[in-house]
A and B are shown apart, each in its own frame.
Chain A
C-alpha cells in the first residue's frame, strides 16, 4: 500500500496513532475451522476508507470475509488457516486507522433487538394510523353517510386498531404496570389508560351504532410516542456503541504465563487473581497486580495523576491502568479486572451512584403533577354530567374524551424529543451521554472542577526551552528507541530520523547507544554522570562532550485558557484539583487562568472536596480521566470524562467526549442548558394547551376529529421546538 496517504483518503478524519499495543488473539472465536474477529476501527469516515481497509484485509492470506460497518466502526473478519490475528490489526494500523479487537458478547446485541422491536412497533402503529384515517376521514367530512355505512367503517377501524394497539402498545402497558406496582405514577400510566379506554369506548359505541369512535386517536397517539421512543433508543444504542468503541481502543488484553511456561493471550476479563502475567514494554496493565520480577519504569498518570514515571520493582503493587514503559515485567494478578481498584474508591463510587439515582427529572416531576390532575378532571366531568342528567354511557364517553384530549402526547413527548435532539446534536460533536438525566444535571451546574493531568493538560510531557542546536537531533537518535514519555517528547520534537547503534535500555535509568562512533547516554542525571538540577529532566552525555540537560513539562492544552474563560462567561466558577505536585499544579493553574487550586489530592480527598462543595450548596461538574478521579466523578452532581479515560472513570461519568479538545466541555454545557430551556418551553406549551383543550372536552364539544387534530398539532409543536437544538448556533462552531 505504498504511495497511499495514511488515514482517510478524503482527509475527513485525523490519522490515528496507536498509543500502546494489544494482542487481539484473545478475542478470536472459532467455528468449524473458520476463525473470526470483531475489530473496532477508528478514523474510517468515507467510502475511500471503506474500500482501502477492506481490500487490504481481504488481501491477507486466508481471509474470506472482511466487512466494515461504517456506521458503527465495527469490522467483521473471517479467515481460515494460520493467519496471526495480530497481522489484521497491524494491517489496519499501518493504513493510519486505529484498530482494536473487541468483545463480541457485549450487551449491545440486547439493545439492538430492543430497538428493532420498537421499530416494528412504530411501523405497525404508523400503518394502522394510515388505514384507520382512510376510513375515518369520510365520516368526519361527509355528514350524509348512512348509519349502516358508518358502523361498517367503524368495525373496519376496530379490525385494524385493536390488534395494532395490542402489539404496539405493549411497551407502554408494561412500563405503566411496573410503575403502578411500585406505587408510583409515570407518563405511561395516563397513556395506557387513554389508549385502552379509547378502544373500549369506541367498541361500545360501534356495537350500539353510535356516532363517534376514537380508534384513530388511540393508534395515532401510539404512533407519535413510538417515533419518540424509537429515536431515543436508537441514539442511546449508538452513543453506547460509540463510547464502547473509544473504550475498545483503550483496553488491553493480557499475556498469561501458564504453569509450564506456555504463553497465551487472554482477555482482561478472563484474568484470575494469582495468574502470572507478562507485561511487555508499552502494554497497559489491565488488572491490579504485584510485580514478581523485572525492573522497569511505569507511567502512572492514569492512576495517580502524576506525570513523571516511577520505578517498578519486584514486590510492588501496581494498579490497573499503569503503562509499562521500558522493560518487560512479570506480575501476579491481585484482583479480577472488574474489581481492580482500591476498596475505598469502590465504596465511594457506589455512594456516588446511589446519590445520583435519587435525582428527579423534569419529566417525572411533570408527570407526577399532571397525572392526578387529569384524572381528577375526568372524574369531575363524569360526575357533573351525571348530575346534569346525562346517561351513564354519555357521561362516560365525555369523561374519556377528556382523558384522550388532555393529550398525554404533548406532555409525553415534551422531554423525550428534547432529549433525542440534544443527544443527537452531542453525538454529532463526539460527545456521548451515558444516562437519561445527565443533560438536566449538567445544565444545573454552577462550578466546574478540572483534573489536571490528561484533562487540562495534554498528559504527555513536552520538551521546553532550547538546548544547544543539534542536541535534540542527537538525543532523538537514542530517544526514538524508548517508550519513556520524556524520550517520546524528544523524538516528537525532532521528527523522524535515524536511530543510534547498539542501543540498550536501562530500566529506571536511561538509554545508552553509540552515535558516530562515540558512546552516548540519555537518562537521569546519575546515569549521565552529572549532578542533577531537580525537576523533570533528562541528560544527554556524549563521550567527550559536556552533558546537556533537557527539561520537560506537561504542557497545558492549547485551548485550556479559552475554555476556562468561556466557562466563566457562562457564569461558572472553575477550580483545579490534582494529584500532582504543588509546583506543577500552581503553574498549570496560573497558565489556564484558574485562581482556585488544590495539589497533591488523593482519590479520597478529591471526593471529599466535592462533597464539601456540594454541602455548601454548589452544583459541581467534575471533569477528569484518571482512576484517581473516579470517585469524584461518581460523587459530583454531573461529570464528564474524555474518551481516553480509564474504564472506571468513563463508567462513572455522565458524558464521555471523544476527541481531545477541552472545548467540548463548554459545548456540552451549552447544549445541556439549551435542552433544559426547550424542555421548560415544551412543558409550558403543554400546560397552556391543556388549559384550552380540557374545558372544550369537559363541555362535550370535542369530537374524534378535534381530538386527532389537537393531538397532531401539539405533538408537532413540541417536536419542532425540540429540533431547534439540532440547528442551534454554538459559540464555537469550528469543531
Chain B
C-alpha cells in the first residue's frame, strides 16, 4: 500500500490546481456575463482591448 503515499499527495495537488484555476476564472470575470459571452462568439468583431 506504499503507492498510497504517492497517490494521495498527487490527488491533493491536482485538486488544488483545479481550485486555483476556478478561483482565477472567477476573478477574471468569466462568470459575469454568461449570456453575453455566448452571444459574442458569433460576432466577427475583434475583442475589445
Cβ–Cβ < 8 Å partners of A131 in chain B: 11-12, 15
Q: Within the complex, which residue of A54, A70, A123 is in contact with B19, where a contact is CB–CB below 8 Å?
A: A123
| A124 proximal to B (CB < 8 A) | yes
Q: Could you say which of B23, B38, B39 has the most chain A C-beta atoms within 10 Å of its C-beta?
A: B39
**Distance, CA A67 to CA B11, complexed state (A):** 40
In contact, B33 and A55 (Cβ under 8 angstroms) = no
- Contact (Cβ within 8 A) A152 B4: yes
Query: B12 contacts which chain A residues (CB < 8 A)?
Result: 131, 159-160
Find chain B residues with CB under 8 A from A54 CB: 45
* A119 interface contact, C-beta 8 A: yes
Question: B45 contacts A127, CB within 8 Å?
Answer: no
Is A316 in the interface zone, CB < 8 Å from B? no
Report B-chain residues with C-beta under 8 Å of the C-beta of A47.
Answer: 38-40, 42-43
The residue in chain B whose Cβ has the minimal distance to the Cβ of A145 is: B1
Chain A residue numbers with a CB within 8 Å of B34 are 71
What sequence of 0s and 1s flags, for each residue 332-344 of chain A, a beta carbon within 8 Å of any chain B beta carbon?
A: 0000000000000
A149 touches B42 (CB 8 A): no
A51 at the interface (CB under 8 A from B): yes
Distance to closest chain B CB from A60 (angstroms): 15
Q: Is the beta-carbon distance between A69 and B36 smaller than 8 angstroms?
A: yes
CB distance from B35 to the nearest CB of A (A): 4
**Which residues of B in the span 1-28 have a Cβ within 8 Å of any Cβ on A?**
1, 4, 8, 11-12, 15, 18-19, 22-23, 26
Size bin of chain B's contact surface? 20 to 34
Q: Which of B18, B33, B45 has the most CB of A within 10 A?
A: B33
Whether B4 pairs with A70 at a CB distance below 8 angstroms is no
Decide if B15 touches A68 in the complex (CB within 8 Å).
no
Given contacts A124-B19, A134-B11, A152-B4, contact A71 B32 (CB under 8 A): yes
- Say whether, besides A50-B36, A70-B35, A71-B36, A127 and B43 are in contact (CB < 8 Å): no
Q: Is the CB of A65 within 8 A of B48?
A: yes
A70 touches B26 (CB 8 A): no
A54 CA to B36 CA in the complex, in Å? Answer: 12
Whether, in the assembled complex, A263 has its beta carbon less than 8 Å from a beta carbon of chain B, the answer is: no
Residues on the A chain within 8 Å of B43, using CB: 47, 50-51
Contact of A149 (CB < 8 Å), options: B1, B26, B31, B38: B1
Report how far A616 CA is from B36 CA in the complex, Å.
51
Interface size on A, residues (CB 8 A): 31
Q: A684 near B: Cβ within 8 Å?
A: no
Return B23 CB to nearest CB of chain A, in Å.
Answer: 6
A65 vs B47: C-alpha distance when bound (angstroms): 11
Q: B1–A127 contact, CB under 8 A? A: no
A684 → B minimal CB distance (Å): 36
Q: Does A72 contact B (CB under 8 A)?
A: yes
**Majority SS at the chain A contact face:** helix
Known: A47-B40, A50-B40, A127-B18. A156 touches B8 (CB 8 A): yes
- On whether A69 and B40 interact (CB within 8 A), knowing A127-B19, A149-B1, the answer reads no
For A55, A66, A70, A134, the residue with the greatest tally of chain B CB atoms inside 10 Å of its CB is: A70
A636 to B18, CA, bound (A): 50
Residue A116 CB within 8 A of the other chain: yes
B26 to chain A, nearest CB (A): 6
| CA of A159 to CA of B16, assembled, Å | 13
Shortest distance from the beta carbon of A239 to any chain B beta carbon, whole Å = 16
Contact check, B36 vs A70: say whether CB atoms are below 8 A apart.
yes
Contact of B4 with A67 in the complex, beta carbons under 8 Å = no
Are the C-beta atoms of A71 and B33 separated by less than 8 Å? yes
Query: Which residues does chain A contribute within 8 Å of B4, judged by CB atoms?
Result: 149, 152-153, 156
User: Once the chains are docked, how many angstroms separate the CA of A68 from the CA of B31?
Assistant: 14
Chain A residues with Cβ under 8 A from B39's Cβ? 46-47, 50, 70
A124–B18 alpha-carbon span in the complex (Å): 10
Task: Return the chain B residue nearest A146 by Cβ.
Answer: B1
> Contact: B23 with A120, CB < 8 Å?
yes
* Residues of B close to A46: CB separation below 8 A: 39
A120 is contacted by which of B11, B26, B32, B33 (Cβ under 8 Å)?
A: B26
Minimum Cβ distance to chain A for residue B4 (Å): 6
Contacts A47-B39, A51-B43; is A72 near B33 (CB within 8 Å)?
yes
Q: Which of A46, A71, A146 counts the most chain B CB atoms within 10 A? A: A71
Q: A694: shortest Cβ distance to chain B, in Å? A: 34
Contact indicator per residue, chain A 148-161, by CB within 8 Å of chain B (1) or not (0) = 01001100100110
Q: How far is the CB of B7 from chain A (nearest CB, A)?
A: 9
CB of A135 closer than 8 Å to a CB of B: yes
List the B side residues contacting A134 at CB < 8 Å: 11
Query: Shortest beta-carbon distance, A42 to chain B, in Å?
Result: 15
Tell me the minimal C-beta distance from B11 to chain A in angstroms: 6
Which residues in B have their C-beta under 8 angstroms from that of A149?
Answer: 1, 4
Rounded to whole angstroms, the CA-CA distance of A124 and B23 in the bound complex is 10
Interfacial residues of chain A within 9-55, with CB under 8 A of chain B in the complex: 46-47, 50-51, 54-55
Residues of chain A within 8 A of B32, CB atoms compared: 69, 71
B44 to chain A, nearest CB (A): 9
A613 in the interface (beta carbon within 8 A): no
* B48 A123 Cβ-Cβ under 8 A: no
Task: Give A43 Cβ to nearest chain B Cβ, in Å.
Answer: 14
Q: Is the CB of A70 within 8 A of B33?
A: yes
Given A70-B39, A71-B34, A120-B23: A51 and B11 interface contact (C-beta under 8 Å):
no
Contacts of A65 in B (CB 8 A): 48
Give 1 or 0 for each of A52-89: 1 = CB within 8 Å of chain B CB: 00110000000001111111100000000000000000
* Alpha-carbon distance between A640 and B12 when the two chains are bound, in angstroms: 51
Does A130 sit at the interface, judged by CB under 8 A? Answer: yes
Name the one of A55, A66, A130, A153 contacting B15, with C-beta atoms under 8 angstroms. Answer: A130
Q: Which residues of B contact A (CB under 8 A)?
A: 1, 4, 8, 11-12, 15, 18-19, 22-23, 26, 31-36, 38-40, 42-43, 45, 48
Instruction: Supply 21 A–B pairs (Cβ within 8 Å), ascending by A.
Output: A47-B40, A47-B43, A50-B40, A51-B43, A54-B45, A66-B48, A69-B32, A69-B33, A69-B36, A70-B39, A71-B33, A71-B34, A72-B33, A116-B26, A119-B31, A120-B26, A123-B22, A131-B11, A131-B15, A156-B8, A160-B12
Interchain residue pairs A-B with the least CB separation, the first 7: A47-B39, A70-B36, A70-B35, A69-B33, A71-B35, A71-B33, A51-B43
A residues in contact (CB < 8 Å) with B: 46-47, 50-51, 54-55, 65-72, 116, 119-120, 123-124, 127, 130-131, 134-135, 146, 149, 152-153, 156, 159-160
Given known contacts A47-B42, A69-B32, A127-B15, what 13 new A-B pairs fall within 8 Å (CB)?
Answer: A51-B43, A54-B45, A116-B26, A119-B26, A124-B19, A127-B19, A131-B15, A134-B11, A135-B8, A149-B1, A149-B4, A153-B4, A160-B15
